Amino acid sequence: MATGALIGLGLYVAVLAVVGLPERDPGTPSRFRGVTLKGVTTRLSLGVVSGLLVLLLTGWVVAGVGIGMLVAFWDQLTGDARAETRGINTLEALATWTESLRDTIAGAVGLEQAIPATATNAGATIRPSLNLMVDRLRIREPLPEALIHFAEDLDDPSADVICSALVLNARLRGPGLRDVLGALAQSTREELDMRRRIAAGRRSIRRSVKIIVGLVLGVMGGLAIFNQRYVEPYGTLEGQIVLVLVAAVFGAGLLWMRRLSQPEQISRFLVVDRTARARDMERLMGQVEDGVREGEAVRGGARDGDRR
- Using one digit for the tens of pLDDT, what is the confidence trace for 47-92? 888 888 888 887 788 888 888 888 887 777 766 677 778 888 999 9
| Rg, the chain, Cα only | 29
The pLDDT value given to residue 299:
66
Nearest to 129 by CA among 104, 94, 98, 161: 94
- In this predicted structure, what is the pLDDT of residue 26? 45
Distance CA 308, CA 299 (A): 14
Each domain of the chain, given as residue ranges in start order, spans: 92-195
| Residue-level pLDDT at 306 | 58
- C-beta neighbour count of 247 within 10 angstroms: 17
Residue 24 in this model has a pLDDT that exceeds 70: no
Q: What is the pLDDT of residues 131-186, one digit of tens each?
A: 999 999 888 888 888 898 898 888 888 888 888 888 888 888 777 888 888 899 99
- The three-state DSSP-derived secondary structure of 217-284 is HHHHHHHHHHCCCCCHHHHCHHHHHHHHHHHHHHHHHHHHHHHHHCCCCCCCCCCCCHHHHHHHHHHH
pLDDT, average across residues 282-294: 65
Question: Is residue 278 very low, low, confident or very high in pLDDT (cuts 50, 70, 90)?
Answer: low
Instruction: Look at residue 31 and give its three-state secondary structure.
Output: coil
95: helix, strand or coil: helix
pLDDT number for residue 193 = 92
Model pLDDT, residue 87: 84
Calpha distance 292→10 (Å, rounded): 51
Nearest to 209 by CA among 49, 80, 32, 48: 80
pLDDT digits (tens, 9 = 90+) for 234-271: 878 888 888 888 888 888 887 887 777 666 677 777 77
Give the CA-trace dihedral at 121, 126, 132, 135, to 10 degrees. -20
Q: Answer yes or no: pTM beyond 0.95.
A: no
Residues 6+ away with beta carbon under 8 Å from 251: 66, 77
Kindly tell me if the per-residue pLDDT of 115 is higher than 80: yes
